Structure 1
Amino acid sequence: MMSDPMLEHYGAIVIDQAHERTVSTDILLGLLQDILVHRPDLRVVILTVSSMTDRLRAHYGSNVPVVSLEALCPAEVIYSNCSSKDYFYSALRLVLEIHRTKEEGDVVLFLASAQEVVCARAILQREGTRLGAGLGELVPVVLCPGQGRAPSLLGEGMGSRGTVTTRGRRVFLSTSQGEDMFWAVDSVNFVIDAGVEKRYVYNPRIRANSEVLRSISRCQADIRKQLTGPTGKCFCLYPEERVLPIETSPQILETNLTSTILFLKRMKIAGLGHCDFITRPDPEVLMQSLEELDYLAALDDDGNLSEIGIIISELPLDAQMAKALLASCEFDCVNEVVTIAAMLSAPSCFLEPPVGRAQEVQQCHRKFRHPEGDHFTLINIYNAFKYSQRETCTLVTSNTAREGPMWLSW
């Protein structure tokens, strides 16, 4: 949008999953209101759940046409009085019980975080080997967006529409970010919903993120119940009387907005000067973002982007990291800062330790550690990776050759 702020090259814009309320979606919805004033010929299609319809009509006007689709027949929903502290092992026990029944169909298990997903896979792999051969194979599959390349849903042993062609049952392990990955899979017959999620919430007072465990929204719960179709079962590991929030909390209320404000400042230069937020951010967070941009010399005395700010806005990096990259030219450490920026932008390079081998993995990781901090540790890891490409059989760390796995994801 920086090069085409009025979207002159587009005749129609389709926004999918608007109810997820990501920062990017909310910003786009806000900017489009101003664009539509100047471009009445532009067509905007917003796909979302019915609970968000009134909010969008209040934002764009009550004369906006609404097309509603009938919801699928809901699956059989079974609620539980499981404690919020016990949901993890309760969910895994339920997976094993479903497998023992020999009922056909794959299982989708929604957990609170990616860490729980990895732990669940290790436990199910271990317990699956202890089950009788007559039950068929139990195959846990991790599907967490942002955790590296996701495997194909139509994997080995599956038909063109996801029907099972071999004796076995897949257990898809995912989080709230993976709710929309299963609509094309016909083989899913069971959904297990933990009913909670972990999200990072930015606290402007301490200028840091905190991991918060909280209930999912009613919107998310309804989406999960429809993944199996009318013949399936959805197990909700929470009481039916629990009151869930109607909508997903907007990320714009829970995120450091420095990069977002930098983008909006750049859009003002491009000629688009107004963003009418559907949900307005906290004024304290906005002021803190402006203070941070001013500290980075990204703003001039009038509060507009400086020359440095314009350059920072061109880089696909966090504002602080972009400024560090520019400063590295002065201190002759460009290669090191580029390496750090790349390592921080990519998914974590550390593999989760297999069950029972955590201490061994920690010993391997310790060889990469640098006394000056994590950023230098990342440089050590990258250098070891480059060396491993030249010497495929040996990895070198701190001038010490050692053969064997380093428990890193190349």
Structure 2
Amino acid sequence: MSTNISAALDPKVFRDVLGHYPTGVVVVTGRDEDGEILAMVVGTFSSVSLEPPLVSFMPMKTSRTFDKMRACSSLCINILGGEQEDVVLTIAQRWENKLDGIDWFESPSGDPVLSDSVAWIDTRLWDTVEAGDHWIALCEVRDLAVTNPVSPLIFFQGGYGSFVCTSLMARMDHEILPAIHAAHAARPQVAALASSIGCEVSVFTAVSSDEMATVLSATAPGVDREEGLAHRIPMVPPIGDSYVFDQDHDAQERWIAKLRGADDTVKEMHRARLAFVRDNGYLISFLPAEGNAAYDEMRAATRQYESGRLTPLQERSIRESIGSSPVDYHVRDLADDEIYDVGSLVLPIRDPNGGYSMTLRLGQLPARQSGARISEWIRQAGAVVEVLER
């Protein structure tokens, strides 16, 4: 009976259905008889028993690392935090010397405890049970401790993430109140800018390193706010360059890395934009032949993002839609007598702490304008930025 059911199951469907259930992520470490450091990433860790204290994880039978671990006198299970995705990827991609460059200290049994892990569990292998193409490794707990009480790393639908409770989301909304007050103090100037140019003008603030939110928006007569981006937008390239440009190199590379699978040409384009806004104080995007329709997919993606909690699969789809926009983001110098179709104009706004957490964005701009006219827009927008920075 079970054999017939197994034969009828589509492996892809099996993985897809079970992928809708999240799992925690741990790194199991140990030392072999020769002192070699062993480490493997596991997404099948579980608590088993209190009397005796047992936990388990399920490595694949093909795992060469687990073959070595079976001979270890002890193993340490590291529960990873939400900010340790890079640690997971580093360990998973290496065949040897897996912890090189990764900070750790010794457990009571002498096995590696990764720095910044949420918790560690010092164990010895108690029993190994065969389970199809995996082993169930039962481990007896000798000691354990919480060392970094933060949200754990979670694997869900093929992606890594973390847990954010509703109260934390409300707290983040509360934390952008200063930006809301600052923007609304400049409402007359923002509205006048929109009316003068005939466009939409929005002020965004960074909610976190992953999201921006609109704190003020004004439109000229005849300009539809619904044709603009959503009120909450994910900070995925090209969105966020006016914030990230002032961050350190690692933060900039993490931002660019949100474009999964992007080639070097695209990455260099975004690096060039970061350098340009640092030197010039503004950024321009240009429309292709289809005009503002080039924003349709990005606009739809930001509205889906704003609609509520998303699965990792939906977030990846949104990220891909934003990153593959046909809008031209290459930097270029404006010639006064050349004609351009501008998609957007963004200017970073310095906050009271000296950072750049806010952005002024002009969208739905008049088509077919001279470089001289666009330069005048930049000057006008810069004057509004000065008001917002007071």
Please indicate the TM-score interval, normalised by the length of the shorter structure.
under 0.3
Instruction: Work out which structure has the larger RCO, using CA pairs closer than 8 Å and 6 or more positions apart in sequence.
Output: 1
Q: Report the TM-score, using the length of structure 1 for normalisation.
A: 0.23
- Rg (Cα) greater in structure: 2
More strand by share: 2
Q: With the length of structure 2 as denominator, give the TM-score of the two structures.
A: 0.23
